[in-house]
């Protein structure tokens, strides 16, 4: 059956192109996004780029392998990069330690710290202190699910402006859906700039009352309800918060807008990461479509943890049939291999086990192929790179490097 053949994604070309300044790795949770982002960053560094990987909440061991032990919001130099990165290049040049001049920094996002810094940058010290102490601000800056996305974008903007690195690889926050990354900052921005906040500051302002008259509701109804839901103290805190933030709204909007434009600017590329599983690929599809709508540049799909077989020519069906032909006649229709496998009795237990295992593997390979094929049929122009499933979790630079080496060669 003809499956839509996806064009191969040339990751090396993407990272070797000096015009690529930002790579955003997105995808749903649990697909190995952080690991792939780190692998892309490491590979780029070992191919000569000055890279910073901005990661959010990585697995502890992965973080340790990159030399990140604490959440300090500052890019840290990752040791061990490029020294052994190019054994082939080393052999060619005769030097053992080849450094092509690349470097890798990595940092973990501290969203509260990042938010605090924005406040401090936009308000005078007294007002900043007032905002930082407000319970609403504290809740917003440490808890709101969109804050992490917003701050990741803010950090990205800061890193880009600082211009200390020639490539920034962003690992997007682990949100329930890949689209949150695009939506949350705007949602937060909209909220901070919204009608409600104007209303909350309204008791002192005529504008708020006029607005309510348009909506044909009594002012008392609204404040009454608010007091009932939130309680008087809470309402007062909210009003203080809003008033204090008032001067900063313009700043927030501007920053959100700047970062959003950054994602559309030349030099930015998106990598969508997925595992060959239905949910992950469905999310990947949504994301690909969304990027097209937003006119944001998609480099391609990285299909992570793809299974392969060294004996792919033996199909699942033939393998299973062969296993069954070896099954002793009394092993009732072969459904219970364990029950029939008395040591020393059934002669071919090893072959039977191997053939059954192979059949399962080939079924898995086939089902992954089918899912990947379905994606490529729907998105025939999206280049795809497959990363084979690793036998063990990646927790050091060598593991990251192995992933980088498995990207299809140009």
Partner 1 sequence: MTSRRASARPIQTQYPSADSLHGVRTRDTDWEGVRLHVVTGKGGTGKTTVAAALALALAADGKRVLLIEVEGRQGIAQVFDCPPLPYEERRVAVAPATADRAGGEVYALAADPEAALLEYLEMFYNLRHAGQALTRLGVVDFATTIAPGLRDVLLTGKAAEATRRRQGGKHVYDAVVMDAPPTGRIGRFLNVTAEVSGLARVGPIRGHADMVQKVISSPETAVHFVTVLEEMPVQETLDGITELAGLGNAGLQPGGIMINMVQPLSMSPAQLRAAASGSVDEDELALGLKAAGLDESSLLASALAAELTEHARTVTGQRALRRRLAGPGQPRYDLPMIADGIDLSGLYRLAAALREQGAA
Q: Which of 24, 25, 31, 306 binds partner 1 (CB under 8 A)?
A: 31
Q: Minimum distance from CB of 363 to partner 1 (Å)? A: 6
Helix crossing, 135-142 with 125-133: angle to 10°? Answer: 80
Q: Which of residues 341-400 bind partner 1 (CB under 8 A)?
A: 341, 343, 347-358, 360-361, 363-364, 367, 391-393
Element (H, E) at 107: strand 103-108
The only residue of 109, 280, 299, 303 in contact with partner 1, by rule CB under 8 A: 280
Residue with tokens 């496998």: 341
Among 204, 166, 138, 191, CA closest to 47: 166
29 touches partner 1 (CB under 8 A):
yes
Please list every residue from 293 through 322 that binds partner 1, using CB under 8 A.
309-311, 314, 318, 322
- Torsion, Cα of 260, 263, 265, 271 (10° steps): -170
31 or 40: CB nearest partner 1: 31
Beta strands per DSSP E along 117-274: 167-171, 268-274
Site for partner 1 in 64-93 (CB under 8 A): none
Tell me: does residue 217 bind partner 1 (CB under 8 A).
yes
144 binds partner 1 (CB under 8 A): yes
* Complex with partner 1: residue 242 or 299, whichever CB lies closer: 242
Identify the residue whose tokens are 């804050």: 147
Q: What is the CA radius of gyration of the chain?
A: 27
226 lies in the site for partner 1, by CB under 8 A: yes
Which residues fall within 8 angstroms of residue 353, CB to CB, at 6 or more apart? 337, 341
Q: Which of 59, 71, 84, 129 binds partner 1 (CB under 8 A)?
A: 59
Q: Is 325 in the site for partner 1 (CB under 8 A)?
A: yes
Applying CB under 8 A, among 139, 247, 332, 345 the residue interacting with partner 1 is 139
CA 352 to CA 121: how far, in whole Å?
68
Task: Out of 245, 323, 372, 382, name the contact with partner 1 by CB under 8 A.
Answer: 323
Which residue's entry shows tokens 């930082």? Answer: 132
CA–CA separation, 248 and 193 (whole Å): 10
Supply the minimum distance, in Å, between the C-beta of residue 384 and partner 1.
20
Site string for partner 1, 249-278 (x = CB under 8 A): --------------------------x-xx
174 binds partner 1 (CB under 8 A): yes
Between 194 and 203, whose beta carbon lies closer to partner 1? Answer: 194
Say if residue 176 is exposed, middle or buried (CB neighbours under 10 Å; 0-12, 13-18, 19+): exposed
199 belongs to the binding site for partner 1 (CB under 8 A): yes
Q: Which residues partner with 274 through β-bridges?
A: 303
Provide the 3-class DSSP secondary structure of residue 303: strand
Q: Which of 87, 232, 250, 380 binds partner 1 (CB under 8 A)?
A: 232
Q: Within 10 Å of residue 214's Cβ, how many Cβ atoms? A: 8
Q: Spell out, one character per residue from 99 to 138, where the chain touches partner 1: x when CB under 8 A holds, - when not.
A: ------------------------------------xx-x
Among 1, 204, 229, 409, binds partner 1 (CB under 8 A): 229
The reply on whether position 195 binds partner 1 by CB under 8 A is: yes
Of residues 27 and 157, the one with the C-beta less far from partner 1: 27
Spatial CA neighbour of 141 closest among 179, 192, 106: 192
Give the residue carrying structure tokens 């239905």. 278
Q: Between 71 and 326, name the residue whose CB sits nearer to partner 1.
A: 326
CA atoms within 13 A on the CB side of 5: 4
**Which range in 70-78, 86-94, 101-109, 232-240 contacts partner 1 by CB under 8 A?**
232-240
Number of residues that bind partner 1 (CB under 8 A): 81
Least Cβ distance, residue 265 to partner 1 (angstroms): 29
Distance CA 354, CA 142 (A): 52
Candidate list 73, 99, 158, 177; residue touching partner 1; CB under 8 A:
177
**CA pair distance 250, 238, nearest whole angstrom:** 19
Cβ proximity of 290 and 26 under 8 Å: no
Query: Which one of the spans 109-117, 192-200, 289-297, 402-410 is the region binding partner 1 (CB under 8 A)?
Result: 192-200
Neighbouring CB atoms inside 10 A of 76's CB total 17
Instruction: Give the integer Cα–Cα distance in Å for 402 and 39.
Output: 8
Q: Which is nearer to partner 1, 234 or 292 (CB)?
A: 234
């Amino acid at each position: 059956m003809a499956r839509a053949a996806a064009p191969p994604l040339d990751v090396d070309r993407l990272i070797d192109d000096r015009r690529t300044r930002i790579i955003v790795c997105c995808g749903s949770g649990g697909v190995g996004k952080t690991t792939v982002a780190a692998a892309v960053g490491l590979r780029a560094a070992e191919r000569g780029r000055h890279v910073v990987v901005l990661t959010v909440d990585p697995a502890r061991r992965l973080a340790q392998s990159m030399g990140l032990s604490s959440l300090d919001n500052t890019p840290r130099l990752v040791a061990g990069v490029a020294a052994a990165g190019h054994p082939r290049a080393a052999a060619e040049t005769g030097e053992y330690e080849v450094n092509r001049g690349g470097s890798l920094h990595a940092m973990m996002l501290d969203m509260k710290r990042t938010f605090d810094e924005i406040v401090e940058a936009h308000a005078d010290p007294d007002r900043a202190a007032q905002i930082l102490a407000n319970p609403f601000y504290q809740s917003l800056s440490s808890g709101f699910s969109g804050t992490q996305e917003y701050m990741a974008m803010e950090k990205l903007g800061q890193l880009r402006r600082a211009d200390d690195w020639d490539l920034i690889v962003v690992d997007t926050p682990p949100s329930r859906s890949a689209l949150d990354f695009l939506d949350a900052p705007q949602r937060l921005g909209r909220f901070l700039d919204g009608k409600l906040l104007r209303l909350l500051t309204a008791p002192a302002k005529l504008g708020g009352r006029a607005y309510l008259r348009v909506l044909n509701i009594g002012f008392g109804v609204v404040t009454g309800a608010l007091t009932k839901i939130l309680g008087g103290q809470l309402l007062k805190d909210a009003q203080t918060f809003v008033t204090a933030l008032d001067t900063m709204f313009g700043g927030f909007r501007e920053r959100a807008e700047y970062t959003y434009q950054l994602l559309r600017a030349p030099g930015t590329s998106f990598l969508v990461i997925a595992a060959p599983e239905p949910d992950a690929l469905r999310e990947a599809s949504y994301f690909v479509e969304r990027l097209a709508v937003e006119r944001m540049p998609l480099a391609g799909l990285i299909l992570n943890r793809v299974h392969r077989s060294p004996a792919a020519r033996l199909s699942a069906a033939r393998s299973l049939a062969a296993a069954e032909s070896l099954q002793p006649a009394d092993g009732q229709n072969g459904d219970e291999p364990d029950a029939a496998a008395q040591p020393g009795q059934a002669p071919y237990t090893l072959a039977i086990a191997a053939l059954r295992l192979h059949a399962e593997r080939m079924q898995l390979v086939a089902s992954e192929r089918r899912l990947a094929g379905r994606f490529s049929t729907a998105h025939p122009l999206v280049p795809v790179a497959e990363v084979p499933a690793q036998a063990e979790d990646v927790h050091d630079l060598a593991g990251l490097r192995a992933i980088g080496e498995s990207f299809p060669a140009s």
